[in-house]
Structure formats: C-alpha cells, structure tokens
Amino acid sequence: MQPLPILIHSTAAIRAADRHAIEVLGIPGYTLMTRAGEAALGALRAQWPLARRILVLCGRGNNGGDGYVLARYAQAAGLTVTVTAPAGPPADGDAARAFRDWTATGGRTEPWSEALLAHADLVVDALLGTGLTRSVEPPLAAVIASTNGAGRPVLALDTPSGLDTETGLPHGAAVHATLTITFVGLKPGFFLGFGPEYVGRLACDDLDVPASAFGSSGGVLRRITDADLRRALPQRARTSHKGTHGRVLVIGGGAGMAGAARLAGEAALRAGAGLVTLATWPAHAAAIAASRPELICVGVEEPTALAALVAAADVVAVGPGLGRTAWASGLIEAAFATDRPLVVDADALNALARAPVARGDWCLTPHPGEAGRLLATDADSVQRDRLAAVRALVARYGGVAVLKGAGTLIAEPDQPAWVCERGNPGMAAAGMGDVLTGVIAAIAAQQPERGRELGLAAAVGVLVHASAGDLAARAGERGLLATDLIAQLPACVNPAS
C-alpha cells in the first residue's frame, strides 16, 4: 500500500481532481474504478491473507461499482465471493458497467439477508460513498446495524458508509470499519469528530491521479509527521549550552494549585528547554524547588515582579493553575503586556474570553469547553465542527490555536491546519494540558529567535505530547498519570536523524 499523503483535501476538491483526471487528463472513469477495485483487493489480501469467504455489500452508486470490481477480481483470484445489493443494482454509468462485468463473469448477486454475514470471513463495505448528505435510510440503515453487530472484520471502500467525510460525524448510522482504503486523496472526516472510530486503520491509493489534478488546492488539513519533528528539533551542536537551548518562564500555580505549574515546568525541562523558571504563589516556591530542584522557583507577590523574569525568558507560558483571583488576574494582564511569545492555557484562556484581545505571537491551547467560551458558544458546538472552530479562534484572536481533544487541531493564518493522529483515551486525565503547555513552550524556546515558527512548535509539541502518551500507555490506558507521560518525553524529543 502507498504511504499516506501529508495533505488532506476537502471532499469537493477530491471530486474536482477526479473530474480533472477524467475530463482533462483523459483517464476514463471506468479505468479509475477498476484501479480502485484492484487496489482494494490488494489491501484486503495484505491485511487478511487467510480470508477465503468474502461478502461484498454493494450500493447503487460508484462506491458500489468499486465493490463489483473488487468482487470480480477476488473471484478470479480464487476467493469465494458473495455479493448482495440491498438497495438494488446500479441503473447507469460506470457502476452499471461494473455490475454487468461482474454478472458476465458468472457472478451472482444474492438478496440481502443477515444470515449472509454468518458465512463470511470478511465483509467489504461498498454501500455508500462520499456524496451522502442526509441520514442513512432503510433498508441500508438496518444493513449497517447488522454489519456492525456481526463481529466480522470490515474493509470499507473509499469511506465507511454513512460517515460524513467533511466533519467525521455519522449520518444517523455508519459502518465501523476495521480498515478503510480511500481513493485519490485523504478526506477530513477521517481525522475529525468520530471519524477515526469508524475508519479503523487507514490506507490510501491515488489511483495514479497526479497531484497536479488538485490544481491550486493546498488542502484543508495536514498530518504532523516525524519530518516536522526533525525540522523543529534538529541535532544539537556539541558546543551548545543551556543558554542556547531556550529559556522558558511558566506563570502559574495559584494558592493550592502548585501541581499544575510544576507539571508545566518539568515538562518544559523534559522537552529540552535549557532553563525553566516558575513564577508562582509565594508559598509554593520552596516546595516545588525541593521536589524538582532543576526548576528555578520564584514566589511572586505582585505583577511588577514579573518584569525581570520576563526579560530573561525566550518564551512565556501563562495559565496553568493560576486561578481566578485578583492576584491571578494581575499576573495574566502583565503577561499579556509582554513582548515575548506566549503559550496561553487554562485560567489565562478564561481571562481572555472575558476580555478578548488579539496578537500574532501567541499560542492558545483550549480544550473544547474553553474554546466554546472564547467563541461565545459551547463545547458541543465546537465539537460538531472542530475545524471551523479552530479557524474561528485564529480569526478572532490571531496567532496560533491548538484545539485539544481526540484529533487535536493546530491552526495558524493562511495555512492548512495540522491534525494529530496519535494519542489515546488514557490521556483524558488531570494535568495533561499543563504538560502540553510546557512542551510547546520548550520547543518554541529551542528555535532560533529570528526563525521561530510558533505554529510548527505547537504542532510538534502536540505530536511529542501524544507520542509520549502512547508510550506511557503501553501497560494500559486506564490509570495513566500526567507524570507518567513526562517520563517518556525525552524519548520523543530526540528524533533519529
């Protein structure tokens, strides 16, 4: 199977590329369909080499046509193939030709029955394609429900039937695939919303449609890769020293909340920052320093005390555990007035929601609830269209926005948003956001001042954080602690050259 592309295009852009291939490049539509069927059979045999009895669920459109082609090729390869078309055969176009070719080679199309599932080693889902815009209707809704409940592995062609390929939300019902092989390009819905739960493992085949078919479309998302990690964190020179590895100031830890500031500070150290200072509630400084002596801890009574600390920092992280007191408000206001790049989290985000301002050199790191407050809406609205929400954050507040959650998104002006594919549900635990704040600040601080790319630092910080979470969860996701993740950070910020 081909490597996954970096860029993720809108469904409309992929359809336009498909039309360009047919109308301009002269590739017949049926040729693309046969390539899709051949690629799908290759994926099937690679993933399930012992499968012998294949049930193919075909719809009436081109997605069903792909299924008929796969069925024909699979039967020719010696597999036992059963095809069923619950909504009837296709009436015209390339899909109808694929149906005729299947029939001409002796293939039969059986009436739909739930009993067919019991006799299959594997189910191929070719019911509904990317054009679905409304709720799945009978009889296909019942077919999808039966398929999901059959306990059989499922290969979805192009997209799991019923999944919105833009938002990642199901149209009432959607197939839970084990493996999805998509064609021409990756779709946003595979990475957004509930998409990853329905897609399963993801493969892509471009069907030999050249990248030029996308024209000026630069994609709506881009995957964060290890190449980005190496660009943000190149190998260090032997003559480097702590002063050249970046200086981070963390402003956090109001009364009774020392842990959040310490987590952010320790994460910044583990992510490679040369010097990390905590500006915190005075009563916390000694205890934090005793438990993590590598941190410079300064008790701060008044906002004016921040001036010298800010002057010595390359990047300032503000918000972890600050609280909503007058003391916290004063520190947040002072931080927002600095000329240093900022990473803004937690209570500093809540303060920003109450008094919105914009600037170009900060990174906001909200979870969906905080994003809802920043956008004067609610978490449910944010989750229904996460891509629109993260773009709206950048439009309203400037800089870079990191919308946390499954499939974390990172947006900056005039660029496709980054999306993170790593991470796990065990990371839904207290302190994980504080760790992410420290990691992003550390990676930003390690970049040369003139070449500092806050968007890249945020994206790579998210990747490092998620990768550390996956390493920490090898013994199990339930019960994962933020400190477990911190211990894995060094392995994730030292990429192989």
Tokens read off for 53: 């009895």
CA atoms within 13 A on the CB side of 158: 32
pLDDT in tens, 323-353: 999 999 999 999 999 999 999 999 999 999 9
pLDDT (average), residues 445-465: 91
Alpha helices, DSSP H, located in 233-324: 258-270, 285-291, 306-311
Is it the case that residue 497 has pLDDT exceeding 70? no
Rounded Cα distance between 333 and 303, Å, is 8
pLDDT tens-digit map of 201-238:
999 999 999 999 998 878 999 999 999 999 999 888 88
Tell me the per-residue pLDDT of 157-210, one tens digit each, with 9 for 90 and over.
999 999 999 999 999 999 999 999 999 999 999 999 999 999 999 999 999 999
What lies within 8 Å, CB to CB, of 408 at 6+ separation is 402, 419, 420, 423, 462, 466
Taken in order of first residue, the domains within the chain and their CATH numbers are 7-218 (3.40.50.10260), 226-492 (3.40.1190.20)
Q: What is the DSSP letter of 282?
A: G
Tell me the C-alpha distance between 27 and 446, whole Å. Answer: 49
Residue 78: both structure tokens together: 């010696």
User: pLDDT by residue (tens digit) across 240-292?
Assistant: 887 778 999 999 999 999 999 999 999 999 999 999 999 999 999 999 999 99
Residue 1 confidence (pLDDT) above 90: no
> How much is the pLDDT for 133?
87
Q: Can you give the pLDDT at residue 451?
A: 67
Question: What mean pLDDT is predicted for residues 456-468?
Answer: 98
Tell me the mean pLDDT in the region 378-399. 96
Of 97, 112, 113, the C-alpha closest to 33 is 97
Rounded Cα–Cα distance for residues 81 and 93 (Å): 23
Contact 20, 190 (CB under 8 A): no
Look at residue 178 in the predicted model and tell me its pLDDT: 98
Share of the chain above pLDDT 90, in %: 93
Read out DSSP for 82-114?
Answer: EEE-TT----SHHHHHHHHHHHHTT--EEPP-T
Q: What is the mean pLDDT of the chain?
A: 96
61 vs 432: CA distance, rounded Å: 45
Contacts of 346 (CB under 8 A, 6+ apart): 252, 260, 319, 320, 321, 322, 370, 433, 434, 437
pLDDT digits (tens, 9 = 90+) for 432-443: 999 999 999 999
User: Residue 472 — very low, low, confident or very high, per pLDDT cuts 50/70/90?
Assistant: very high
Identify the sign of the CA torsion 323, 388, 362, 466: positive
Task: Convert the pLDDT of each residue in 120-140 to its tens digit.
Answer: 999 999 999 998 889 998 999
Strands 247-251 and 315-318 come out as: parallel
